[in-house]
Structure formats: structure tokens, C-alpha cells
Amino acid sequence: MASAIGRRRTRVAWGFLGPSVLGMLVFFVFPLVMTVYYSFTSFDLSNPPRWNSFANWKFLFGGDPLIGQATFNTLWFVAILVPVRIAGAMLVAWALTRARTASGALRTLYYLPALIPPVASTIAFVFLLNPATGPVNKLLGAVGIEGPGWFTSPAWAKPSLVLLGLWVLGDIMIIFLAALLDVPVEQYEAAELDGANGAQRFRHITIPNMAPVLMFSLITGIIAALQYFTEPAVASSTAMGKAAVGEGASGMLGWPDQSTLTYGQLLYQKAFGANLFGYASAMAVVLFVAAGVVTAVLLRRFSSFTPEVAA
Amino acid sequence: MRTRTRIVIPALVAAVAVGTAACGGSSGGGGPTAAASAPPTVSGTIEFWHFFTDREATVIQGVVDDFEKANPGVKVVVKSGQDDQKMRQAISAGQPIDVALSYSTDQVGPLCSSGDFTDLTPFIERDKVDLTQIPKTVLGYTAYAGKRCSMPALADVYGLYYNKDLLSAAGYTQPPKTLSELSDMAVKLTKYNADGSIKQLGFMPLLGYYENAEAHWGPSADAQWLKEDGTSAIGSSPGWQTLLTWQKDLIERLGGYAKLAKFQAALGEEFSAQNDFQTGRVAMNLDGEYRTAFIADQAPKLSYGTAPFPSAQGFESTYGGGYITGNIVGIGKGSKNPEAAWAFIKYLTTDTDAQVKLANGLKNVPTTHDAITSPQLQLPEQFKTFLDIFENEHSSTTPPSSIGAEYQTIFGTHTAKWQQGKVADLPGMLKQVDSEIDAAVKLQAGS
């Protein structure tokens, strides 16, 4: 009897799980397996894939002249853009919890840029930072500072994208704000009675309470940075004077001088520009493994992310 | 654990097997074929994908309507605004796209070799289509490895635009015919602000500025891209060294890379009224024939002329030619109605009235000789230059390749460093370009 009930429960469970498991198999496992397979083939999307053993992998680790630059740029964004955005969002969220008046209006104001589609916000930002006609350099010029070339300068293009990332930090900021408001006030009061100063309260009360949210932002931020594509692509084409992405876009990716060429962009260029879908698949496998390893390491390092510990 | 392994491994093998069969596409053979004799009338429905939108899509629709009127049994279902990549994936997956119009000649190689676009030769030979109406260069970029899988719909042709008022003020009555004349005139036409920055530029020598591209400069020095076996010819083609040396010299004469890069950073958006040539910021510019339509719309008072792009020293005899590219159209491998699809393609690409109507509407160059010489062409006086360039024997294009436009992209990554002065050994750089292109070709070939 008990086993009959158990079997029935199992069937019901599979009934509920079935659609999502099927979806996972069709839209995740199958493409993943195929991508690994294609990485050992020469494939142009149209002709049947031809087995070429490790040729793509050899090219990836020793033949592609741009892979080093694209990897460096991507890691640069992971190392700079992600922490800067998290720190900026934390600062703004903390400041907003201190606002005595117009807090609702201020929250809306800081969140609004995050609502703008990335293409539109990037185009707007490139115009704001136009070295000759943009208001930013005009303001700098008014106080005697010669503004940099921003998106048109190989040295400044990446920092310009960080500024853009800071401008649209509302998505993280709103989560941090909710988490900050959720920290029990009595913990701060107890710490204050124990003589803890502001920095100590932040380190020992705010940070541990926000650990799950910080971890979520860090992991999603790193994965997004590893796949960074739209903003640098639009910035390159707009700064070149061609406010369009699509037709012949692969020729503009990375401009100026490959300074903003990301790993994801190179992957796209190799697949759809060069018809090297097998090689692009090898690149995609590496990206997937890198994202998986980073996530696993972070989850292990910050075990407080698990609900049991957080609770 | 053993049970899981037993299940997982066959599942993965099955997934790869199914995926290979499902996603692999088909090579060469199969697909739609021509009937032994041309049917007296065509009928049925055909699906037509193209990339045009808004006003341009309306022009295309006008020609579709004419075709339907002439062939009352045929209904053309138009899917406008389709990106090339999306279209290619759909055709590759076997979607029944009868007629596909692409903006890029760079995809001709894979489209032809894979059979995604049907070989049109049987249709062309059966219907005795006169291909001598189309220039050799254009025939070249619409076929790959001897297989004609596409026809040219319209062409883009590149030449030199010059501001008559600015040239006249500097004492010039004619545009330059050689690159050294272009350099001298560019230097004389360039004016500087008090702080040394450029106020008005005679000609911008930096690649990446608007339509300044290696491909568009190439015909001036008969510079070659690929050898017959598909490997790179860049290092062994003397034209590239000539062009890049000329460019470097002009950059120096105009004040150096940094000064020009600063000027470039303030450029107006290419397809807006703020385009540097239209505002007079630049006196001479390389551009396509379509610029005439933008000028008529956005800067109608601009006094300008057009001419073939100047030729390099030692290549003076090539003057009159230029870079040509264009739209291509073919029959998708999943077409259910190839005869009606071919009838539509034939109408679109060889019917003089249709070509003229498209050219008048889209302000592009028609691709048949009869259409080019048609009195019905209603195009501005400056447009005639591009018709002449189109039919000039020295005009050339970027050849179709198995790696698409990758060979141009690779070259571009090196010329970007060259123009900044970061490369001392030009022949060495060009050899490196060769080796990188050849490696990509080899990888694509599966070796």
C-alpha cells in the first residue's frame, strides 16, 4: 500500500517536473552537448559539420591573434566594472536609506536610468561624452580641463563603459536598498551600545546581513561581464559615426583599436562574420566552463549564500 | 551510479547523432531544380524575404505589385526587415523561403557552397538569360567556385565627393585624379584653429572614418585580396603597400594621427544631416552613390561634384574604376515553388523597367547595362559618375570567401595599428596578415 502511494506520488511529482525537465533538456542540455560536439568540427551552419579533431582548440590556445586581447578586455570588465558597480550601488542605496526628505523621488531618480533599454542608454551616453560636442567635455573645458576622447580613445573606451555601468546601476541598487532596509535595527543598537563605530557596524552587521544579496549581485554581475556585448558594440558603432548595429557589425566590434573587443563579441564575429561556427563553439565551451568555475568557487567561498546559513 | 552512467552516455550519443542529423544542413546537392522547359505561366504562392524597411520597403513592394500584375497567378508573400543572419539560419533549417534578398556579398561563399541558395545555372541557361548585360565584377561577387547561386539586384558604387565651393575657394576647378594630387589638395584645403586643431579638413586619410575602408580604397591601386585557392594575396599585392604608404604620408602632412583622431572624434553621424561632408567640415570624401539621395534630402543647397576615386602612383591607368558591391538574391533550398521564385528573381534582376524603378526609388545603381542606359532613370547629375564607374573595367570588389568578410576584418585590425604609427615594418605586417587569413581559411576547411 505504502509503495503504491509512493509510486503515485512519484508520478505526480514527475507530472509537475516534466515540462521544466523537458525544457531543460531541449533548450539547455541538448544545445550544450551539441556545442561541445561542434567544437571538434569544422562547421559553417550550412554544410554538415566535418570532424576536425582538436584543430579549433589548438587555434583557440595558440593561433587566434585576437583571443588574448578579447580575454584581457573581458577580464578587465570582470575585475573593474563588476566591483565598481556593486560598490556604487551600495553607496547609493546606503545614501538613500539616510535621506530624510524626498526619498521616494530620489529612489525613482536613481533607478530611472536602469529602465532605459541598453542600446538607447549607450547611444545617449556616447553623445554626452562626445569629445568635441558633448556637454561633459564642454563643462570640463569651462573649468580649464581638456577632456579625454572617451569612447573614441583606446585608453579611455573601457573606463567610459564603466561610467555607463555606474549610471545604470539602478537594477542592483534597488536590491541593495531593500536588503539594507531589512537589516534588523536592534542589531545596530546593540552594536552601538557595545561601542562599535560606523565602520565596524558596517563590517560586522551590514555586510553579513547582505551577504546573500551581495553574492547574488556578484555572481550575476560576473556572468553578465563575461558575456558583455551590447553596450560596447553600440558604443563602438555610435562613436564611429554609424549609429547602427546589425549590417556589417562585426567590422566595428572592438573599435577603437580592439580596446572594447570582448570575448563574447569575438565569439560572435568568428561565428557570424567568419563562418567558423566550430571554433566559436569551442570559445563558447570555454566561456561556459569559466562561468561555471567562477560561480562554484564563489559559492564555496561564500557559503553564507545558502539559505540555511543565511537564515 | 552505474545506472546513471548507462543512461547518460547513450543519451548524449543520441543527442549528438540527432543533432548532427537535424542541424547539420545539407551539402551541395538536392534542393529545388529547374524544369526541363520553362512553364508558359507560373502560379502559386512564393515567400520573399528582404532586409528593407520603411520607405525602401515601399519601393520594393511597388516592384512586387508590378510582378503580381504581370503574373496574376502568383501571390508574393513579402517578409520585410529580415536580418541576413536570421535569413541564413532559416534557410539552413529548411524553412520554405522561396526568394531571399541579402545585403551582403560576404555570405555568397557559404550560401553557394552549402546549397542554401540553389544553383541558378540551369534556370539561366534554359531561359537564355543574357549575362553579358551584367559587368564581370558583379558576376564575380554573385557566384562562388564556379557556382552561380545568386543574381545581383542592385549595386553600391563608391567614388569621390567634392565640395565645389571649397575647392573653388582654394583655386581648384577639377577634382584630383591621382592620390598625390588628392594629398596636395587635401593639405591646401585643410584649415586649423588657433590652438592647432583642425577646423576644416581637405580629406580624411584615417581608415574607419565613414566609408574609408581598405576595400573601398583597393581598386585605386589594383590591390588584390585573395588568390584563386582562397588564401591571402594581400602580402604579395604591391597595391596595398602603395596605398598604406600614401596614407601614412598624408597623415603626417596633415599634422599626425592624434590631430586627425581628435577631428574624427567630433564627426557627425554618417547618415544624418550632420555628416561632415554635408556640413562642409570635410572638403572631399569617399562615399557611395546613395549619398546623392541624402544630400538631396538633407543638404539640398550643397554645391558638390562626384568623380572616380583617384588612382595611386603607378596605377594611373586604372582611373575611372572603383569599388562595387551590392544586394544579392537567390532561391532558398527549401523553396516549394522554384519556377515562380525564379520568374520573380528574373523579373527583379533582369527586367529593365523593374531595375529602373528600383534604382529610381532606392537611389542605387541598377545592375544591367540596359537599365543603366535607360532614359527612364531619374537620377541627379552627380549620379552619372557612379554609373560610369560601375561599367568601368577597372572596377573591382571584395571576393567571396569561405570565411565571409573575416579576411577584411583581420586586415583591419592591422591597418588600425599601422595608421597610428605602431608598425614600423609594413611588409612584415602584410605577411602577418597573410598568415592569419590563411590560418582562418585552413580552419574553415577543416584542416
Mean pLDDT of B303-321: 97
Burial B187-199, CB ≥16 within 10 A → b, else e:
eebbeeeeeeebe
All residues of chain A having their beta carbon less than 8 Å from the beta carbon of residue B27 are 47-48
The beta strands (E) that lie in chain A are given as 41-42, 50-51
- Residue B387: CB partners within 8 Å, gap ≥ 6? B157, B365, B372
Instruction: Report ipTM for this prediction.
Output: 0.84
All residues of chain A having their beta carbon less than 8 Å from the beta carbon of residue B265 are 130-132, 149, 152-153, 239
User: Does the distance separating the beta carbons of A242 and B269 come in below 8 Å?
Assistant: yes
**Three-state SS at B173:** coil
Closest CA in chain A for residue B12:
A33
Q: How confident is the model at residue B27 (pLDDT cuts 50, 70, 90)?
A: very low
Q: Which domains does chain B have, with CATH numbers?
A: 31-155+324-391 (3.40.190.10), 157-323+401-445 (3.40.190.10)
State the amino acid at position A95 in one-letter form.
A
Q: Are B152 and B138 in contact (CB under 8 A)?
A: yes
Residues in chain B: 447
User: Does the distance separating the beta carbons of B270 and A242 come in below 8 Å?
Assistant: yes
Per-residue pLDDT of chain A (311 residues; tens, 9 = 90+): 568 889 999 999 999 999 999 999 999 999 999 999 999 999 988 778 999 999 999 999 998 999 999 999 999 999 999 999 999 999 999 999 988 888 889 999 999 999 999 999 999 999 999 888 899 999 999 999 988 999 999 999 999 999 999 999 999 999 999 999 999 999 999 999 999 999 999 999 999 999 999 999 999 999 999 999 999 999 999 998 875 544 445 568 998 989 999 999 999 999 988 889 999 999 999 999 999 999 899 888 876 555 455 44
To test the contact with chain A by mutation, choose from B409, B434, B442 the residue with the greatest count of A C-beta atoms within 10 A, namely B409
- Residue A100: CB partners within 8 Å, gap ≥ 6? none
What are the C-alpha distances in Å from A177 to residues A86, A88, A220, B69, B412?
Answer: 12, 12, 17, 64, 46
pLDDT surpasses 70 at B439: yes
The pLDDT tens digits of the residues spanning B341-359 come to: 999 999 999 999 999 999 9
Measure CB to CB from residue B409 to each of A44, A51, A273 and give the nearest one. Answer: A273
What count of CB pairs under 8 Å joins A to B? 150
B262 Cα to chain A: minimum distance (Å): 7
Burial A17-43, CB ≥16 within 10 A → b, else e:
eeeeeeeeeeeeebeebbbbbbbbbbb
All residues of chain B having their beta carbon less than 8 Å from the beta carbon of residue A132 are 262, 265-266
pLDDT of residue A240: 87
All residues of chain B having their beta carbon less than 8 Å from the beta carbon of residue A59 are 439, 443
User: Does the distance separating the beta carbons of A59 and B444 come in below 8 Å?
Assistant: no
Closest CA in chain B for residue A243:
B269
Cα–chain-centroid distance for residue A142?
35
d(CA B173, CA B307): 13
pLDDT of residue A245: 42
Which range among A255-264, B18-27, B302-311 shows the weakest confidence by mean pLDDT? Answer: B18-27
Retrieve residue A8's grid coordinates: 503515485
Closest CA in chain B for residue A64:
B436
All residues of chain A having their beta carbon less than 8 Å from the beta carbon of residue B20 are 37, 48-49
User: Does the distance separating the beta carbons of A50 and B446 come in below 8 Å?
Assistant: yes
User: Does the distance separating the beta carbons of A30 and B446 come in below 8 Å?
Assistant: no
pLDDT of residue B312: 97
State the amino acid at position B223 in one-letter form.
A
Residue A104 has a CB neighbour count (10 Å cut-off) of 10
B155 DSSP β-pair partners: B326, B365
User: Does the distance separating the beta carbons of A269 and B265 come in below 8 Å?
Assistant: no
Which range among A3-17, A90-104, B5-19, B315-329 shows the weakest confidence by mean pLDDT? Answer: B5-19
d(CA B46, CA B28): 23
pLDDT of residue A221: 95
Measure CB to CB from residue B114 to each of A29, A46, A130 and give the nearest one. Answer: A46
User: Does the distance separating the beta carbons of B405 and A250 come in below 8 Å?
Assistant: yes
User: Does the distance separating the beta carbons of A66 and B413 come in below 8 Å?
Assistant: yes
User: Does the distance separating the beta carbons of A248 and B265 come in below 8 Å?
Assistant: no
User: Does the distance separating the beta carbons of B443 and A56 come in below 8 Å?
Assistant: yes
Q: Which domains does chain A have, with CATH numbers?
A: 1-30 (no CATH), 66-310 (1.10.3720.10)
Q: What is the mean pLDDT of chain B?
A: 91
Measure CB to CB from residue A34 to each of B16, B268, B413 and give the nearest one. Answer: B16
Mean pLDDT of B27-42: 76
- Residue A35: CB partners within 8 Å, gap ≥ 6? A281, A284, A285, A288
User: Does the distance separating the beta carbons of A269 and B15 come in below 8 Å?
Assistant: no
d(CA B53, CA A246): 14
**3-class SS letters over B64-92:** HHHHHHHCCCEEEEEECCCCHHHHHHHHH
Closest CA in chain A for residue B261:
A152
A169 Cα to chain B: minimum distance (Å): 27
pLDDT of residue A2: 62
Mean pLDDT of B298-306: 97
pLDDT of residue B89: 86
The pLDDT tens digits of the residues spanning B45-91 come to: 999 999 998 888 999 999 999 999 999 999 999 999 998 888 988 99
pLDDT of residue B35: 84
Answer whether 0.90 is exceeded by the pTM: no
Instruction: Tabulate helix, strand, coil % of chain B (nearest 5).
Output: 45, 15, 35
pLDDT of residue B111: 86
pLDDT of residue A9: 93
- Percent of all residues in chain B with a pLDDT value above 70, rounded to a whole number: 93
d(CA B176, CA B307): 9
Measure CB to CB from residue B16 to each of A33, A251, A275 and give the nearest one. Answer: A33
All residues of chain B having their beta carbon less than 8 Å from the beta carbon of residue A51 are 446
The residue among B36, B19, B176 whose CA lies nearest residue A277 is: B19
To test the contact with chain B by mutation, choose from A35, A44, A53 the residue with the greatest count of B C-beta atoms within 10 A, namely A44
